[in-house]
Amino acid sequence: MKSSAGSGGVPVCSCCGEPAVIYLPASQRHLCGRHLICDVELRVASTIKNESQISLGDRVAVAISGGKDSTALLVILSRLLLSFPGSEIVAITVDEGIVGYRADTLRAAEALTQQLGINHHIVSFRDQIGDDLDTLLTGREKEACTICGILRKKALADAARDAGATVIATGHNLDDEAQSVLMNTLRGDLPRLIRDTGPGSSSLFLPRIKPLSAITEKEIAAYLFVKGLFSVLPECPYTKYALRAEVRTMLNRLEQLHPGTMLHLVYSKKRIEHYCEGMAVMEPLRRCQECGDPSSGEICQVCRLKHSLGK
């Protein structure tokens, strides 16, 4: 395996000997730009195939915020779906209404979908619930991610259904997945830890897939940089309230010291899912008595949230 320093003090690609652009500690490989692109796209294709995420004829609703993960997802899926005859993509952006943040990413999403020739739908919290997120959060800023997450999921599901989608794809990467495992563990939330929303999990909602779940955040950023698609965009102003931000910093530190930590966390989740198979860990899904959406209780999270927001 090649990886010694080449000319200019840059290590060379483990595959071809060209200057490397990234080092992957998990596989102990250096990759050049060309092989990074091949590697990322092959691993996404493997995830889709191994988890049967997409079937022939599927209409895939890709959630695109305009940030790096969803940008990479849309770029990769638009290539990979060429080998799924009859399948097509529709892009959906949820505009939460966050001043100083969403406008830039919305423009990026519009530019990308136009460039790729993909049908793009934009839905907003204002249309959905009558107010933007900034207004809804007045005095409740510390709940930002919880409130936003519930409403965004509902807006995305409704928009995907309206667009005739058969599956929803999101840009969650390996780092996101490992963070979620740790967060759910810290909260003692076993049902959420093992919740399955993938294809075949329920007939009550559109299945959700995560084709980037084996790719690290850094690989995604490098992939976009090499392809000339990386943009520096503003950070969500509510990030400072998020438990995820603390967990991310902690996990990144652990991953740096102990490469493979994130993979091990995701693997442990799969093991727990396996052991819990057939056990009554979760409340069975039913229809919300108010809106008819799928819910684990009599009233769904969205309706409960609307009540608490006075909507």
Partner 1 sequence: MKVILPDQDPKNIVFGPSTVGLFLNELGLNPLEVIVSRNGTLVPEQAVIGGEDEIRVIRIAHGG
Residue 68 contacts partner 1 per CB under 8 A: yes
Token output for 92: 């959906």
Question: Closest approach of Cβ 155 to partner 1, in Å?
Answer: 16
Q: Which residues contact 180 (CB under 8 A, 6 or more apart)?
A: 172
| Residue from 60, 90, 144, 169 in contact with partner 1 (CB under 8 A) | 144
Residue 23 contacts partner 1 per CB under 8 A: yes
Instruction: Starting at the earlier edge strand, list the strands of the sheet with 88-95.
Output: 119-124, 88-95, 59-63, 167-169, 208-209
| Residue from 118, 150, 229, 233 in contact with partner 1 (CB under 8 A) | 233
**Selected range binding partner 1 among 71-79, 86-94, 251-259, 272-280, rule: CB under 8 A:** 251-259
**Shortest CA distance to 21 belongs to which of 160, 228, 236, 166?**
228
**Selected range binding partner 1 among 5-13, 43-51, 84-92, 282-290, rule: CB under 8 A:** 5-13
| Residue from 2, 126, 161, 244 in contact with partner 1 (CB under 8 A) | 244
Name the amino acid, one letter, at 86. G
CA atoms of 17 and 274, how far apart (whole Å): 42
**Shortest CA distance to 296 belongs to which of 287, 305, 304?**
287
Q: Tell me if 72 sits within 8 A of 225, measured CB to CB.
A: no
Binding-residue total with partner 1 (CB under 8 A): 41
Question: Closest approach of Cβ 305 to partner 1, in Å?
Answer: 17
Name the amino acid, one letter, at 162. D
Q: Tell me if 250 sits within 8 A of 260, measured CB to CB.
A: no
Residue 21 or 288 with smaller CB distance to partner 1: 21
CA atoms of 76 and 70, how far apart (whole Å): 10
Residue with tokens 């991610």: 145
Residue 66 contacts partner 1 per CB under 8 A: no
Q: Tell me if 160 sits within 8 A of 131, measured CB to CB.
A: no
How many beta carbons lie within 10 A of that of residue 100, not counting itself?
11
| Residue from 14, 15, 33, 134 in contact with partner 1 (CB under 8 A) | 33
Question: Closest approach of Cβ 238 to partner 1, in Å?
Answer: 5
Residue 230 contacts partner 1 per CB under 8 A: yes
| Residue from 11, 97, 207, 211 in contact with partner 1 (CB under 8 A) | 11
Residue 97 contacts partner 1 per CB under 8 A: no
Residue 30 or 208 with smaller CB distance to partner 1: 30
Residue 135 or 256 with smaller CB distance to partner 1: 256
| Helical ranges in 54-143 per DSSP H | 68-80, 102-116, 125-129, 133-136
For partner 1, the binding residues (CB under 8 A) are 5, 8-11, 19-23, 30, 33, 67-68, 144-145, 148, 175, 216-218, 221-222, 225-226, 230, 232-233, 235-236, 238-239, 241-242, 244-245, 248, 252-253, 255-256
